[in-house]
Each structure stands twice: as C-alpha cells, then as structure tokens.
Amino acid sequence: MTQKEFEHWQSVTGSSQYRWVEDQVTRLNGRGALYYMGGESGIYIRITEEGHLTAGTYEGAIPHIGEACFEKKAERTFKDFNEGFQYACQLGGIRFLADLFSSDQVLQTGPSLC
C-alpha cells in the first residue's frame, strides 16, 4: 500500500466516525455486506449472502475496516440477505438508512480496493 492509498483509506475510516458506512470491499468480494460506524473503533453489522447477520464492536481499523478486530455480540440467521438487511434497517433505524443512502460518502475507489 502506498502512502497515498494509506491516507485515502484513513479518510474512508474517518468518515465513519459519526455515520454508518458500507465497506464496498466486502460486497465486491462476494462476502455479503459490512456496515460500520465509529472510526477506528465502533460498532458493526455484517450480513452474509446466505442471510447470517452478526453485530458487535470492532477496534483497530487502521487504516481501514479490513484491519479491525471484531467482537461479535449477537447473531441471527434469516432466509436470505434481503431479510437480514431488513432486520439491520430495523436495528439501525432511520439514521442507518439515511447514512447509507446519502450522497456525501467518501468514495472507496482505487487500485487496491479488492
């Protein structure tokens, strides 16, 4: 990872300090979805393609969420991803939806995305 890439991922992580962010790398790698909030340490919700939802805390997301250590606090299995996402929306409430679908997110692009 170059210094420029490191700084970019730090800004992506920093953008999650007070808002929910989706980790696009998780989705692009076919591993479902990972939503998180809190910057370097915070809370997360992960949903697999098969509908398995886990939620908990993480720490050490430097420079990005892929480097974090996760501590699962709860889990539940749904019939599919969509049902799990509906439940995540209930857990996160209006703030979760508003954060995820706002247009002012830091883009997670670049050659080292995957």
Question: What residues contact residue 112 under an 8 Å CB cut-off, 6+ apart?
Answer: 1, 5
Helix ranges (DSSP H) in the chain = 3-14, 24-28, 81-100
Beta bridge partners of residue 55, listed in sequence order: 45, 74
pLDDT digits (tens, 9 = 90+) for 76-93: 999 999 999 999 999 999
pLDDT tens track for 24-71: 999 999 999 999 999 999 999 999 999 999 999 999 999 999 999 999
